Amino acid sequence: MRKLSAHFCLLPDGSVGKWPVISLNGEGAITGMRVNDEQFREEPGLEFYGGVLVPGFIEDMRDVSFDGIKEENIMKVMNRFYSEGSVKFICRSDQKHFSSGFRCEVFYDGSYIYSELQPFSGVFFWERVKIEANSKYDGNILKAIHSIQENTVGSLPEELRWGRIEEGNSPGILLVKGLNLADMSITEKSSIKILQH
């Protein structure tokens, strides 16, 4: 079992929890989640990180065509998505080139209809978050992450358990570091780190 903590955590309702402790099993599923509003408490085996824990980003790749593109170039693009915090991908079953190297993909054969998903725009999720934070949320990056994720999560079948940090889910955990923690706005030093995919 792995236990992660940070200064803050983005909760499923969009609020921010202080001093979270997230317990994960070997498959990355959340087995426990609590916040400690009063003060931080150390405990054995706890990994503490400076910043904010957020769920892994989700990308809808079903409308992306990779016809005629070399496998190595596809992998470069996918690695860039991954480095920008996208750890979950919605793909068609015929997009077989995703099967190597990315452990978090799920392939769909068209049996699910995701009419509300934000379409892939060629812009990485992290970049979309920064744009939306500045245009809609006075720079608050967590409000933008929650807004974009909820648009996607609300359209996914419940069994995927992605996009929210709550017990029973396997969302992937990211650390957003270098934020101005007073208003959760981005700074020149802000970056994303994948803690659990």
Model confidence pLDDT, tens digit, residues 34-63? 998 788 888 889 999 999 999 999 877 766
Residues 78 and 99 in one domain: yes
Residues 74 and 98 in one domain: yes
Q: Looking at per-residue confidence, does 183 or 95 come out higher?
A: 183
Residues 74 and 134 in one domain: yes
Residue 69 belongs to a domain: yes
Residues 131 and 47 in one domain: no
* Domain region containing 7: 2-56+163-196
Residue 143 belongs to a domain: yes
pLDDT, the chain, mean: 81
Size (the chain), residues: 197
Residues 103-121, mean pLDDT to the nearest whole number = 42
Residue 41 belongs to a domain: yes
Per-residue pLDDT at 58:
85
Q: Alpha carbon 36 to chain centroid distance?
A: 22
Model confidence pLDDT, tens digit, residues 118-152? 444 556 788 888 889 999 999 999 999 999 888 88
User: CA-to-CA distance for 26 and 159, rounded, in angstroms?
Assistant: 19
Per-residue pLDDT at 97:
53
Domain count, the chain: 2
Residue 158 belongs to a domain: no
CA-to-CA separations, 18 to 4, 41, 50, 70, 181, in angstroms, rounded: 13, 11, 12, 45, 11
Per-residue pLDDT at 138:
93
Residues 36 and 71 in one domain: no
Residues 7 and 86 in one domain: no
Residue 172 belongs to a domain: yes
Residues 72 and 18 in one domain: no
Residues 61 and 138 in one domain: yes
Residues 7 and 52 in one domain: yes
The CATH number that applies at residue 6 is 2.30.40.10
Residues 62 and 51 in one domain: no
User: CA-to-CA distance for 180 and 90, rounded, in angstroms?
Assistant: 32
Quote the pTM value: 0.84
